[in-house]
Structure 1
Amino acid sequence: METRRRSVVKPLIWNVMGLVMMTLVGLIATGSVAVGGVVALVNTAIGLTLYIVYERVWAGISWGRHGES
């Protein structure tokens, strides 16, 4: 099991990378950095929240783990 801090840092780093990529995709698709940035921020906020919840739920499930009771 990992600490809550690790559970938060991992998706933060992942989402920063996703934010940059989504901004570039939005820029290419719309020609606007502002629109691409807004789309990326909304996507990142939703994805980060869902990822943290998902990881914490799975942290509490013992199915498939070896050597833990």
Structure 2
Amino acid sequence: MLLFRGREAHSRSFAKAVSWRILGSIDTFLLSWFFTGSYKAAGAIAVTEVLTKMVLYYFHERAWANVSWGFAEDKEEALPGDRPA
């Protein structure tokens, strides 16, 4: 399937999604607690948000893996004197 081809292994994309969600969920919890004043409401918001955003991030990351724009070209650097004869 075109969406799932790319340079990164699925396990790498998944690990990145998990680590990003942990950081994002801490942020969401703290902001929700600040605005609602309730740690229970903040927890409910953070848990719900984890489930939706982890899935969205994974597919977003896999889609971007298929975009070649923005990558440096892979070129072998020739040493001086290594020209073909």
The alignment's TM-score, normalised by the length of structure 1, stands at 0.81
Unaligned runs of 5+ in 1: none
Aligned twin of 2:40: 34
Higher relative contact order (CA 8 A, sep 6+): 2
Listed as ranges, the gaps of 5+ residues in structure 2 are 1-6, 75-85
Residue aligned with 1:60, SS: coil
- Greater per-residue helix proportion: 1
Q: Which residue of 1 aligns with 2:68?
A: 62
What is the TM-score with the length of structure 2 in the denominator? 0.68
- Matched residue pairs, number? 67
Kindly report the root-mean-square deviation, in angstroms, between the aligned alpha carbons of the 2 structures: 1.4
Is 1:50 the equivalent of 2:56? Answer: yes
Most deviating of 28-37 and 53-62: 53-62
Report the 3-state secondary structure (helix = DSSP H, G, I; strand = E; otherwise coil) of the residue aligned with 2:68: coil
Q: Please identify the structure whose Cα radius of gyration is greater.
A: 2
Q: Percent identity?
A: 31
Query: Which residue is equivalent to 1:25?
Result: 31
